[in-house]
Amino acid sequence: MEWLIASVIAVMTGCGVYLTLRARTFPVVLGLTMLAYAVNVFLFAMGRLQVGFPAVIDPAAAGYTDPLPQALVLTAIVIAFGMTAFLIVLALKARSELGNDHVDGLHRSDDERKAKRHNNKTDSERSAS
Amino acid sequence: MSLLSFNLPLAALLPFFAAPFAAWATRYNRLASAWVAGITTLLTLALLFPSMAFVFAGETIIQQWSWLPSIGFNIAFRLDGLALLFALLILLIGLLVIIYARYYLSAKDSMGRFYAYMLMFMGSMLGIVLSENLLQLVVFWELTSITSFLLISYWQHRQDARQGARMALAVTGGGGLALLGGVLLLGHIVGSYQLTDVLASGDLIKGHDLYLPTLVLILLGVFTKSAQFPFHFWLPHAMAAPTPVSAYLHSATMVKAGIFLLARFFPALSGTPEWVWLVSSAGLITLLLGAYVALFKHDLKGLLAYSTLSHLGLITLLFGFSSELALVAAIFHIINHATFKGSLFMVAGIIDHESGTRDMRKLNGLFKMMPHTAVLAMIAAAAMAGVPLLNGFLSKEMFFEQAISASGTPLAIWTIPALVTLAAIFSVAYSLRFIHDVFFNGEPIDLPKTPHEPPRFMKIPVDILVVLCLLVGIAPMYLISPILTVAVASSLQTAAPEFSLAIWHGFNIPLLMSFIALVLGVAVYTMRHRLFAWNEKGLHSLDGKAVFDWLLWKTIRLSKKVTDAFDQTTLQPAVTWVIGGALVLGIVTFFQFNSPLIGNRVMMEADVITLLMSLILIVASLLTVILHHKRLVALIAIGVVGLIVALGFVKFSAPDLALTQLSVEVVTIVLLLLALFFLPQHTPQERSYIRFTRDGVISVSAAVSVFFLAMAVLSRDYSPISGFFIENAKPGGGGTNVVNVILVDFRGFDTLGEIAVLALAGLGIFAMLEGLKLFAPTKDVDGLVWSHDPHPPIMQTLTRLLFPLMLMVAVFIFLRGHNLPGGGFIAGLIASVALISQYLANGIDWTNERLRIDMHRVIWIGLLIATLTGVVSMFIGYPFLTTSFTYLTWPVVGKFEVASAIAFDLGVFLVVVGATVMILVELGKLSHASHHIKKEEVN
């Protein structure tokens, strides 16, 4: 079971990282959401995997699961939602201000030349100011 | 608790409380803010009044509350003679400046902003002089730097004001950092940050190895604040401030803060050769430099600024002499300087106000036009020059006497008296220039305005100060002796030495020095034209500003270079660096340990359902990546991932998490769908294969690393700290759902922080969406027109029917949360889903008509309830956020538990509902508005 959960966390991390590295805002938001899932499950798993143990006090219970990671992850889920919401609205704002949804606010889709040109542009801006 | 047990902190904080009120009051009446400021000052004085009698009886009043005892940070205030003297200076001169500024500021200036800044500054100054804890003192010290920055840059449209303010902030703020370092060292040496302990350990401090660094750091703070050489250059540039600010900050209060520290730390630090050399040389140089440059300034305020430097240097020099009588003279001169310089600045402001210029080459012969002001100026300037029968004469005589008797110090026997007399000569000359050039000396030369006497009340503050100069000068024994004695005694921490404040001490050397200064000063003034010409040749270009600007420019360039080396101003490489860096660090650390990768904990057998679910999750995750160009599909795929994560929580004994994840999932997907409407439906293909490969390598290595990390942890046994929570949940927290008890009780402070973050995210989103206009596509991805019926009746009917049920579920989940899975977070999310589904099914207009609740209000009420629950426990005498619970027996219901934690959970509930609904509805309104725009366009 453990190796299964570890691979689930691993796949979600990998996919999250890949999407976070993309050049458009929407995939980046998806990537961060995915990373948040991975992190939450990872944190949760730090309490070790327990099947059938309650986190509620019960005299009849044979044992308890670790409630602390659960409490931490519970708030983490809500905060992750807040962050996702903030990011996606930031993406909307960027789209309306910059006219496109590139993470750097660039129109050019050619990534190869983009970085170079962008550097040139900022240099000329600096020398102008 | 009587007022006398907490009047000191109240006095320091009252101006801060009143400041926003002053800013607000100006909306209704322009002058209301001046009234607020004046009344606040009077109230603060009244607060200190009852304690005064004790201070005059020689007592030191200390009021303290322990806050962070582990690092010695107490909230501690102290009122002794020295503190009282400074507090009175701050408040009384503050009051006069407040009256004066009301007439000085023009209709274009914002009164509210001015008085709010003034009050904050006043509070910071009071905080410095009333602090018993040194760390607290440093906090107030920095606050004066910040508030004075705001005051100097009050005329924000002027470049010189902005630059002067920035320079003042950089210099005094930097000095504040040094002071913090010095205070930390002092605390390290003494073992306490309480002033009482520090002052009692003078010998320990002076004998300690760290004495010199401590002294240098503290003196850096003092010299920057009190504009001593070589940090003097910011003061003249701060003259870009409105004149009331200059009168207050740069004559009476802020620049005296440094000197206050010299007096405060006198028993702890003074008397060593290091102190004598450092303090007196800085003082002497500043005294001479200021006096010399002042004569050549054509700007009225420039002259006063350099003369202020010179007088600050004089006071510093007196402290440098390190004798008890020198201390008397220094403190006496602090009072005198505040009175005459404050009034002179106000006069300069009046002249500027009435004539439109401060250039002494244009200002001539104003005596005919404003005789009253001229007489005031003459008396004050005479006091500054040290003319007999005025207060300046008395302290200057004492200064001369000390300069002569300082021959015992390592400085040579005759140099100091000679140099001091030289400074006095220039002092007489520039005082004379202030009077003769402005009020006599022919006719004015093309003034922008024809000057006349200012309004009566603008002169009254000057009148009062000038009368004080005279009274103190003529009858020092009665007026000044009592306060001076207690101030000196508390500064020395012993009885004050015998001193005599008399006008006539017989013919002696100090009198001779005064005489020489007066005669030669007049002589220097008469040959000023030749001196001006000589000065023009080169010396005038000496300005610390050039050095400062050069340093600033260098620093900015260096920081730019460093930034540019790391940041290419594009996001993707930056993210690559962050993730790649984390990977490298993690992997390197991993290989530092020799223990086996997989531990020996007995692992569980995987069952078929879990296997299946995991496979679906993995496939869905991969699909999200593969199909991320088709955004809608990717969104559906990631929804699947989230749902299976929720199921996983069910499987592994975490019902609370499952409930949370499930409701968050719904809300997140709705949110992303709403946003997707305004974004391109497809992601264009990126063309760089290098980047694909690089990102692929990074992602795969991240996945592999995380896999091994998770395996390494999961395959090992551990000893959790949760036993404590499980044992104490019921007896300590009164609930059986340990997860919820941790959230609302054990770790309640964390939760409070988290809901605050959520509230801020909601408000941030609200702010970003305000006024946002986005292009809304008329057709969907496949080119089809959107449905004409956005609110299908079946869905409407169903959701309306379900709504009460959903709310009931939320209430149920909320109430049982303390004992069974549930709680504020989950109930809040469920209630949000209930509300959002109404918005989705019935439209925003329909729902808003029926649900007239402002979500902003819900958020702040929630935060308020949660915070108050914590504060209430403090009032009962328990730490913040301690819960209490009891059992009630209700009819029908039976035994029922009431815990204060439920109030806290209610706060959590409200914040979650408020923030979630606000975020989604604001986004929804956006599409709503864009539809409306389109309809209008079509029509």
B179 near B218, Cβ under 8 Å?
Answer: yes
Q: Which positions in chain B touch A23 (Cβ < 8 Å)? A: 572, 686
Q: Do A89 and B758 touch (CB under 8 A)?
A: no
Nearest residue on chain B to A84, judged by CA atoms? B668
Contact B687 A19 (CB under 8 A): no
> Nearest-CA neighbor of B270 among B316, B305, B313, B230?
B316
Share of chain B above pLDDT 70, in %: 94
Do B668 and A84 count as a contact with CB atoms less than 8 A apart? yes
Cα B635 to Cα B676: distance, rounded to the nearest angstrom: 9
Burial of B430 from C-beta contacts in 10 A (0-12 / 13-18 / 19+): buried
Query: Which of B679, B714, B757 is nearest residue A45 as measured by Cβ atoms?
Result: B714
- For A14, the closest of B572, B654, B699 (CB atoms) is B699
A75 to B699: CB separation less than 8 angstroms, yes or no: no
- pLDDT at position B541 is 57
B696: pLDDT confidence band, cut at 50, 70 and 90?
very high
Contact assessment for residue B476 and residue B393, using Cβ atoms and an 8 Å cutoff: no
Q: Which residues 732-761 in chain B show a CB within 8 A of chain A?
A: 736-740, 742-743, 747, 750-751, 754, 757-758, 761
Q: Which of B753-783 are b and which e, b meaning 16 or more Cβ less than 10 Å from the residue's Cβ? A: ebbebbbebbbbbbebbeebebebeeeeeee
| Interchain pair B912, A70: CB under 8 A | no
Residues of B in Cβ contact (< 8 Å) with A67: 722, 725-726, 738-739, 742
B568 vs A contacts (CB less than 8 Å): 115, 118-119
Average pLDDT over every residue of B283-295: 90
Whether A75 and B606 lie within 8 Å, measured CB to CB: no
Residue in A48, A79, A112 nearest the CB of B754: A79
Flag whether residue B710 sits within 8 Å of chain A, measured between CB atoms.
yes
Mutate which: B635, B707, B750, B825, vs A, most A CBs within 10 A: B707
Among residues of chain B, what percentage have pLDDT more than 90? 35
| Contacts B707 to A, Cβ<8 Å | 6-7, 9-10
Q: Which of B628, B649, B825 sits opposite A30 (nearest CB)?
A: B628
Does B391 score more than 80 pLDDT? yes
- Six-digit token string for A59: 């005299």
Q: What's the average model confidence in pLDDT over B44-60?
A: 90
Q: Distances in Å between the alpha carbon of B485 and those of B229, B257, B428, B473, B481?
A: 30, 20, 29, 17, 6
> What integer pLDDT is reported at residue B12 of this predicted model?
92
> What average pLDDT does range A86-97 have in this prediction?
88
**Most A-contacting residue of B560, B679, B717, B917 (CB-CB within 10 A), to test interface:** B679
Which amino acid type is present at position B113? R
Q: Does B686 touch chain A (CB under 8 A)?
A: yes
Q: Assign B63 to helix, strand or coil.
A: strand
Closest of B355, B370, B366 to residue B459, by C-alpha:
B370
**Amino acid symbol at B934:** K
Q: Which residue has the higher pLDDT, B825 or B890?
A: B825
The answer to whether A37 and A12 have CB atoms below 8 angstroms apart is yes
Kindly identify which residue of chain A lies nearest to residue B579, measuring between CA atoms: A17
Residue of B nearest to A17 (CA): B699
Torsion of CA B643, B648, B651, B655, to 10 degrees: -70
pLDDT of B713-747, one tens digit each?
A: 888 888 888 888 888 888 777 778 888 888 888 88
**Which residue reads 């408020």 in tokens?**
B914
Q: Would you call A49 and B625 a contact, using CB atoms and an 8 Å cutoff?
A: no
pLDDT at A117 > cutoff 80? no
Query: B624 touching A, CB under 8 A?
Result: yes
A82 to B757: CB separation less than 8 angstroms, yes or no: yes
Taking the Cβ of residue B625 and every Cβ of chain A, the question of whether any pair is shorter than 8 Å is answered with yes
Question: What pLDDT is stored for residue A42 in this prediction?
Answer: 94
**Whether residue A126 has pLDDT greater than 60:** no
Q: Which residue of chain A has the CA closest to B616?
A: A8
Q: Which residues pair with B737 in a beta bridge?
A: A56
Hunting for tokens 């293909």 — which residue is that? B685
Give me the sign of the Cα torsion angle A50, A51, A55, A58.
Answer: negative
> Residue B263 CA to chain centroid, in angstroms?
26
Q: Residues of A with CB below 8 A from B687's CB?
A: 109-112
Mutation target for B interface from A51, A65, A88, A113: give the one with most B CBs within 10 A: A88
Question: Which residues in A lie closer than 8 A to residue B582 (C-beta atoms)?
Answer: none
Chain A / chain B CB contacts < 8 angstroms: 313
Using the beta-carbon criterion (under 8 Å), do B736 and A58 form an inter-chain contact? yes
The predicted pLDDT at position B311 comes to 93
Q: Domains of chain A by range and CATH? A: 2-51+65-128 (1.10.287)
Phi, psi (degrees; rounded to nearest 5) at B683: -100, 125
How far apart are the CA of A91 and the nearest CA of chain B, in angstroms? Answer: 9
Do residue A104 and residue B570 have CB atoms under 8 angstroms apart?
yes
Residues paired with B65 in a beta bridge? B75
Tell which of B667, B722, B766, B826 to mutate to test the A interface (max A CBs under 10 Å).
B722
Distance of alpha carbon B433 from alpha carbon B452, whole angstroms: 21
Long-range contacts of B929-938 (CB under 8 A, 24+ apart): B930/B678, B930/B773, B930/B774, B930/B775, B930/B776, B931/B776, B933/B776, B934/B776, B934/B778
Instruction: Please compute the mean of the pLDDT values over residues B25-50 and round it to a whole number.
Output: 90
Model confidence at B172, pLDDT cuts 50, 70, 90, reads: very high
Residue A115: how many other CB atoms lie within 10 Å = 18
Q: What is the pLDDT of residues B487-512, one digit of tens each?
A: 988 888 888 787 777 777 777 788 88
Bridge partners, residue B61, by sequence:
B79
Contact A92 B774 (CB under 8 A): yes
Residues of A in contact with B652 (CB under 8 A): 44, 49-51, 65
Q: What is the pLDDT confidence band of residue B936, given thresholds at 50, 70 and 90?
A: low
- Nearest-angstrom CA–CA distance, B739 and B726: 9
Q: What are the counts of helices (DSSP H) followed by strands (DSSP E) for chain B?
A: 38, 4
Which chain B residues contact residue A105 at CB under 8 A?
A: none
Shortest CA distance from A83: residue in chain B: B761
pLDDT, position B931 = 62
Per residue in B102-158, pLDDT tens? 989 888 888 889 999 999 999 999 999 999 999 999 999 999 999 999 999 999 888
User: What is the C-alpha separation between A54 and A61, in angstroms, rounded?
Assistant: 7
Ranked by mean pLDDT, which of B479-483, B737-741, B758-762 comes out on top?
B758-762
The answer to which of B42-51, B409-418, B660-669 has the lowest mean pLDDT is B409-418
Rounded distance, CA B924 to CA B851, Å? 15
Q: Summarize pLDDT for B627-678 with one digit per residue, the tens.
A: 888 889 999 999 999 999 999 999 888 888 999 999 999 899 989 988 888 8
Domain ranges of chain B: 736-939
Q: Which of B929, B922, B935 is nearest to B774 (CA)?
A: B929
In the block, tokens 């940050």 appear at B193
Least confident of A4-8, A28-32, B744-748: B744-748
Q: A20 and B575 in contact by Cβ < 8 A?
A: yes
Contact (Cβ atoms closer than 8 angstroms) between residue B330 and residue B395:
no
Name which of A7, A22, A83, A89 to mutate to probe chain B: the one with the most chain B Cβ atoms within 10 A of its Cβ.
A89
Query: What number of other Cβ atoms are within 10 A of residue B38's Cβ?
Result: 17
Asked whether residue A124 carries a pLDDT value surpassing 80, the answer given is no
Distance from the Cα of A69 to chain B's closest Cα (Å) equals: 9
Task: Look at the alpha carbons of B902, B907, B910, B913 in this order and tell me if their dihedral is positive or negative.
Answer: negative
ipTM confidence score: 0.84
Interface of B with A in 485-524 (CB under 8 A): none
Inter-chain CB proximity B691 and A111 less than 8 Å? yes
Gap from A64 CA to chain B (nearest CA, Å): 8
Each residue of B531-579: pLDDT tens digit?
777 777 665 556 667 788 888 889 889 999 888 887 777 888 888 889 9
Q: Which of B243, B286, B262 is nearest to B334 (CA)?
A: B262
- Beta carbons of A40 and B645 less than 8 Å apart: yes
pLDDT for B614: 92
- Strand partners of residue B212: none
Read off the pLDDT band of B188 (50, 70, 90).
very high
The whole-number pLDDT of residue B842 equals 84
At B88, the amino acid letter reads L
Contact predicate B821/B738, CB 8 Å: no
CA triplet B480, B484, B489: central angle to 5 degrees?
160
CB contact under 8 A, A23 and B656: no
Query: What residues contact B833, with CB distance under 8 A and at least 6 apart?
Result: B663, B666, B667, B806
* Residue B76, pLDDT above cutoff 50: yes
Q: What is the pLDDT of residue A110?
A: 44
> Any chain A CB within 8 A of the CB of B700?
yes
More confident site: B12 or B788: B12
* Chain B residues closer than 8 Å to A65 by CB: 652-654
> Looking at this protein, which amino acid is placed at residue B524?
V
- The DSSP line for B373-427 is HHHHHHHHHHHHHT-TTSHHHHHHHHHHHHHHHGGGSSS-TTHHHHHHHHHHHHH
**How confident is the model at residue A107, as a pLDDT?**
56
User: Which of B661, B678, B722 shows the shortest C-beta gap to A95?
Assistant: B678
What pLDDT is recorded for position B623?
93
The residue that leads in pLDDT, B784 or B184, is B184
Alpha carbon B708 to its chain's center: 46
Per-residue pLDDT reduced to its tens digit, B883-892: 666 666 666 6
Average pLDDT over residues B416-424: 87
Q: Which residues on B lie below 8 Å from A95 (Cβ)?
A: 678-679, 774
Identify the sign of the CA torsion B411, B415, B421, B422: negative
- Give per-residue pLDDT as tens, B307-348: 999 999 999 999 998 888 889 999 999 999 999 999 999 999
Q: Report the pLDDT averaged over residues B915-932.
A: 79
Question: B181 pLDDT band (50/70/90 cuts)?
Answer: very high
